A and B are shown apart, each in its own frame.
Chain A
Amino acid sequence: MSTVESRRRAGLSGLAGLLTAAAGIAVAELLAALTDPAAGPAVAVGGVLVDAAPTPVKEFAVRTFGTADKPVLLGGIAVALAAVAVLVGLLAARRRWFGPGGAALFAIAGAAAAMSRPAAGPAAALPSLLGGAVTGIVLWTLHRPAPRPEGFDRRAFLRAAALVAVAGGAAVVTRRVRGGAATRDREAVRLPAPADPAPPLPAGQDPGFVTANRDFYRVDTALTVPRVDLGAWRLRIHGRVERPRTFTFAELLRRPLVERHITLNCVSNEVGGPYIGTARWLGVPLAPLLREAGIDPGADQVLARSVDGMSIGTPLGTVLDTPDVLLCVGMNGEPLPLEHGFPVRMLTPGVYGYAGACKWLTELELTTFGAVDAYWVARGWAPRGPVKTASRIDRPGAFGRVRAGSVPVAGVAWAQGRGIAAVEVQVDAEPWRRAELLPVPSDVTWVQWRLTWAATPGPHTLRVRAADGTGAVQPERRATPFPDGATGWHTVTVTVDG
């Protein structure tokens, strides 16, 4: 009898621990879902573990679980948490203060994790602290000195169960609603017509001049694509300005919008690499916004910050002097895709993305290069990232096989802001030949080029070089992408079958 009874009591105590922990987490997640989804303890602790995990562990996770790695991690956290919760429940049955003590430890861990996330304020600690308080109080109440020999308050237990059900259910529903909100917000956006539309594309271009949104390269540090609540989103312009300003999305859309075809590329692109694309962007010109805010003459850097804590610095002079530096809201006729920075990203024609194209933009601070190193600059990349003149052979592809005879050779060349004056192609050690340049709408897009090659059987090497609008030929010398962009003449080897 006594063994059975003590087992039953142990079971109940463990269950109480599990239940109260669930109640606390449910309350914390509900508050987070209502205020700041990133502050939920489960996601925050997961994020900290991901960041803290050594790279081999991360790569093992990616290889083993593929795209399921995050759910597996979060599931693992839940299982570990449940085990500790049962333990706390058992301990609390013996020493009453173990309940609130254990809950406090959980709360502090969750709060610390939430506070450590990029872009977290002190309020990020609240969901975890409140959840911990709920768990602690309920455990304390459950193990109140017993009026009956059972030493366990059944009514309190049921109340806790009800709390789990209500708060947990509400948290799930709220999170679903809010999680889908960014997608729905985006679908609900009606972009105004541009006050200054993009000049029509000249006739005679090859398909592929404009890169479809789904094919557009993506290079960023976001583990999960930030999902911005459009109603709560604000753009703040501050720092070395006379009149700091804050804009809602609707206020930005009320300004005259400009539409342009612009080519964007990534500094980490290897010679001949894929991290480049051209889209028709719709956006608010940035320079007038800054001028309205009153620029402090001492400022020389526009530091953009994203909702997930990325910072990207662009020279103020570039922003003011380059035509069409935009705060983009549209891409190829639709609102920015979530993974390309919805609701607003910056775009600086002629500057690599890491130095001019902050996604999920929420803050623009006027400052100096001396005062602040942007994210990539702090990691050794060059503070300023002007695009280097470059060219690429797309057809035939590397290690391609073609039939002898007339073979079309084609590709792209780019020098945003300077334009492309000429492209030349060399086969083996033959003389360089001029390629035909297809028409472009402006000097901030890539240029498509092509020529016909009388291919003879055997292995051949083709290489390409471009001259920009100033007449300067792109450097032949090989440089790695780090720290300010790759250089070298793109060279491909092809085999011609007889």
Chain B
Amino acid sequence: MVRTKFAAAAAATALALSLAACGGSSDDTAAPSAPMTTAAAPSSAAPMAGTGTQFGPGCAAVPTDPANPGSFDAMAKVPVASAAAGNPLLSTLVGAVKQANLVDSLNNTKDVTVFAPTNDAFGKIPKADLDKVLADPKALAAVLTYHVVSGKLSPSELAGTHKTQQGSDLMVTGSGTSFTVNGNAMVVCGNVQTANATVYIVDTVLMPKS
């Protein structure tokens, strides 16, 4: 008798679960709150499983309200140059990217990693030098494309030598949530997701060896 009852209970539980699962024929997992770019084309859907979340002390400076275009939520839904444009911490970089005509290239490229220097990082460069680079589109494009690496690098893939879009390599050392690029640029906020790129915000502008 007892056995019968437990069999019935097991059957009931299994049924409850199977009923629930029957409704779950989901093939689209994008968040429903973002206007127009929610269930985007398969190529640019929401961040893939297993990418984890952003880390680092600099992340605290990023707005938390999802309605704010500079927030992580908002950045995850638009391509990288548009995402950066919403973030006041990256306004110098965004201006430079526009100056170098790199907005579309950054937005249109599938799966890249971008090292994004903060405004403070640009502030470390002597003004005369910065102005000189900003005034020379080719030099500026070389510096900026040196911050772009093919493929979305997860934190576990970050350490190592990577070939940049500029052509020469950069080197990342560190592990866990602490990384340094080329020995002097600290990742202050890492693994920020945008629709087409993983972003690591750094505190120093990276310079290709000329």
Task: Assess whether B207 is interfacial by the CB under 8 Å rule.
Answer: no
Q: What residues of chain B lie closer than 8 Å to A18, measured between beta carbons? A: 9, 12-13
Question: Within the complex, which residue of A59, A161, A165 is in contact with B47, where a contact is CB–CB below 8 Å?
Answer: A59
The CA of A379 and the CA of B36, in the complex, are separated in Å by 10
> When the two chains form their complex, are residues A71 and B24 in contact, meaning their CB atoms are under 8 A apart?
yes
Q: Which residues, 46 to 98 on A, are CB-close (under 8 Å) to B?
A: 46, 50-51, 54-56, 58-67, 69-71, 73-75, 77-78, 81-82
Chain B residues with CB below 8 A from A220, complex form:
38-39
Inter-chain contact B32/A62, CB cutoff 8 Å: no
Report the nearest B residue to A46, measured CB to CB.
B23
- A26 on the B face (CB < 8 A): yes
Inter-subunit contact B15/A26 (CB<8 Å): yes
Distance, CA A270 to CA B9, complexed state (A): 55
Q: Is the CB of B105 within 8 A of A492?
A: yes
Contact with B101, one of A56, A267, A354, A493 (Cβ below 8 angstroms) = A493
- Tell me if A179 counts as interface (CB < 8 A to partner B): yes
Given contacts A69-B26, A179-B25, contact A75 B101 (CB under 8 A): no
In the bound complex, residues from chain A placing their C-beta under 8 Å from that of B19 are: 25-26, 29, 40, 42, 78, 168, 171-172, 175
Q: CA of A315 to CA of B49 in the docked complex: distance in angstroms?
A: 41
Write the nearest CB–CB distance from B89 to chain A, whole angstroms: 19
Give the docked Cα–Cα distance between A58 and B167 (Å).
38
Q: Is the interface of A mostly helix, strand, loop or mixed?
A: helix
A318 lies within 8 A of chain B by Cβ: no
In the assembled complex, the Cα of A193 lies from the Cα of B144 at a distance in Å of 55
- Given A66-B49, A491-B105: A225 in contact with B27 (beta carbons within 8 A): yes
> Which of A15, A69, A219 contacts B36 (CB under 8 A)?
A219
* The residue from A50, A77, A158 contacting B20, defined by CB atoms under 8 A apart: A77
For the complex, what is the distance from the CA of A331 to the CA of B30, rounded to whole Å?
25
Assuming A26-B15, A397-B109, is B26 touching A67 (CB within 8 A)?
yes
- Chain A's closest residue to B46 (CB) is A62
A449 within 8 A of B: no
| In the assembled complex, A294 has its CB within 8 A of some CB on chain B | no
CB 8 Å contact bits of A384-427 with B (1 = contact, 0 = none):
00000000000001110000000000000000000000000000
- Interface extent on A, as a size class? 35 or more
A243 at the interface (CB under 8 A from B): no
Contact status A267-B36, CB under 8 Å: yes
B108 contacts chain A at the CB level, 8 A cutoff: yes
Query: Which residues on B sit within 8 Å (CB–CB) of A59?
Result: 31, 46-47, 73, 76
Of the stretches A101-109, A272-280, A341-349, A430-438, the one at the interface is A272-280
Q: Does B91 contact A (CB under 8 A)?
A: no
B79 contacts A270, CB within 8 Å? yes
Write the nearest CB–CB distance from A153 to chain B, whole angstroms: 13
Q: Give the contacting residue for A78; candidates B16, B49, B148; CB below 8 A.
A: B16
**Count of B interface residues, CB-CB < 8 Å:** 71
Given A55-B66, A66-B48, A480-B82, A219:B37 Cβ within 8 A: yes
Q: Which residues of A contact B79 (CB under 8 A)?
A: 270, 273
Residues of A within 8 Å of B27, CB to CB, are: 67, 224-225, 339
Q: Are A217 and B73 in contact (CB under 8 A)?
A: no
Given known A-B contacts A74-B23, A379-B35, A493-B101, A63 and B53 have beta carbons under 8 A apart: yes
Q: Is B5 an interface residue (CB 8 A)?
A: yes
CB of A266 within 8 A of chain B? yes
Is A43 a contact partner of B23 (Cβ separation < 8 A)? yes
Indicate whether A223 reaches chain B with its CB closer than 8 angstroms.
yes
Interface assignment of A233: CB less than 8 Å from any CB of chain B: no
C-alpha spacing A461/B104, complex, angstroms: 11
* B43 at interface by CB-CB < 8 Å: yes
Residues in chain B near residue A217, CB distance under 8 A: 40-41
Known A55-B31, A398-B105; judge A274-B49 contact (CB<8 A).
no
Q: Are A219 and B40 in contact (CB under 8 A)?
A: yes
- List residues of chain B with CB within 8 A of the CB of A15: 5-6, 8-9
Alpha-carbon separation in the docked complex, A23 to B26 (Å): 25
A73 to B21, CA, bound (A): 9
Question: B79: nearest residue on chain A (CB-CB)?
Answer: A270
Central interface residue in B36, B101, B148, by most chain A CB within 10 Å: B36
Are A268 and B23 closer than 8 Å at their CB atoms? Answer: no
Residue of A40, A69, A273, A490 near B23 (CB, 8 A) is A40
Assess whether B11 is interfacial by the CB under 8 Å rule: yes
- B51 in the interface, Cβ–Cβ < 8 Å? yes
Residue pairs across A and B with Cβ atoms less than 8 A apart, 27 shown, are A29-B22, A54-B66, A59-B47, A62-B47, A62-B49, A63-B47, A63-B50, A63-B52, A66-B49, A70-B29, A74-B24, A157-B5, A165-B15, A168-B12, A172-B15, A221-B39, A224-B25, A267-B36, A268-B35, A270-B78, A272-B104, A339-B27, A376-B36, A397-B108, A399-B145, A459-B145, A495-B165
Q: Which 5 interchain pairs have the tightest Cβ spacing?
A: A66-B49, A268-B36, A43-B23, A398-B105, A70-B26
Given A63-B50, A222-B39, A398-B104, 17 more pairs with CB closer than 8 A? A51-B32, A62-B49, A70-B26, A73-B24, A75-B21, A172-B15, A175-B22, A176-B22, A219-B41, A223-B28, A271-B107, A399-B145, A478-B103, A482-B35, A490-B104, A491-B101, A491-B103
Binding site for B on A (CB under 8 A): 12, 15, 18-19, 21-23, 25-26, 29, 37, 40, 42-43, 46, 50-51, 54-56, 58-67, 69-71, 73-75, 77-78, 81-82, 157-158, 161, 164-165, 168-169, 171-172, 175-176, 179, 217-225, 266-268, 270-275, 339, 354, 376, 379-381, 397-399, 459, 461, 463, 478, 480-482, 488, 490-493, 495
